Amino acid sequence: MKTLVVIGHPDVATSSTQGFFKHAAKQEAGVTWYPLVAPFDRGAERALLWAADRIIFEFPLYWYSVPAVMKAWLDEVFDDDLLGTAGDRLAGKELGLVVNTGRALKDFAPGQGQSFTLAELLRPLQALANETKMTYLTPLVVGQFDYLTERERQELLVNYRQYLTAPHPGPGT
């Protein structure tokens, strides 16, 4: 299986979270770790998507959405032309999300401080998967990475590597 990890972060080089993920991804065969840098070459970006079996969007949650670089990439690469004939080339692929938050995950529980669950906030990306006929994977969400203990980071490492490469159960399983 070929996995493409699309990194939407405004400053990948200084991010402790992305440094952790990059190191883990580089240990896995068949995984391409791909930080977004504008300007984008639409044809090259699409070729990367088409070559992958699993596509992971990896980003910090910025104001309840993806960062600007990922939004610009989505707007440019996933245009109306892609949803036509070319859109079928994404059908059957898997779309996963690796999201990190600056807030504790409990803040996104129903009735808590953020008023919305992460599933609700990530719904537009699930809609993208549906529109392109990709299988949407349950997101891997990391709350407050810098506060994780060493044990929690080791568990995250295992979970992250499995998320990138392990088979995911199909719908209804």
DSSP state string for 37-96 = -SSP-HHHHHHHHHH-SEEEEEEE-BTTB--HHHHHHHHHHSSHHHHTGGGGGGTT-EEE
Are 89 and 132 in contact by the 8 Å Cβ rule? The answer is no
Mean pLDDT of the chain: 92
**Helices and strands, number each (H, E), in the chain:** 7, 6
Helix (H, G, I), strand (E, B) or coil at 31: strand
Looking at residue 172, its pLDDT comes to 44
Are 78 and 125 in contact by the 8 Å Cβ rule? The answer is no
Whether residue 173 has pLDDT greater than 50: no
Looking at residue 11, its pLDDT comes to 93
Looking at residue 113, its pLDDT comes to 75
In the 8-state DSSP scheme, what is residue 130?
Answer: H
Whether residue 138 has pLDDT greater than 50: yes
Looking at residue 150, its pLDDT comes to 97
pLDDT tens digits, 5-45: 999 999 999 999 999 999 999 999 999 999 999 999 999 99
Looking at residue 12, its pLDDT comes to 93
pLDDT tens digits, 78-108: 887 777 666 688 999 999 999 999 998 888 8
Q: Which residues pair with 98 in a beta bridge?
A: 58, 140
Reported pTM:
0.93
Amino acid at 139: P
Nearest to 139 by CA among 116, 172, 117: 117
Residues 6+ apart with CB under 8 A from 39: none
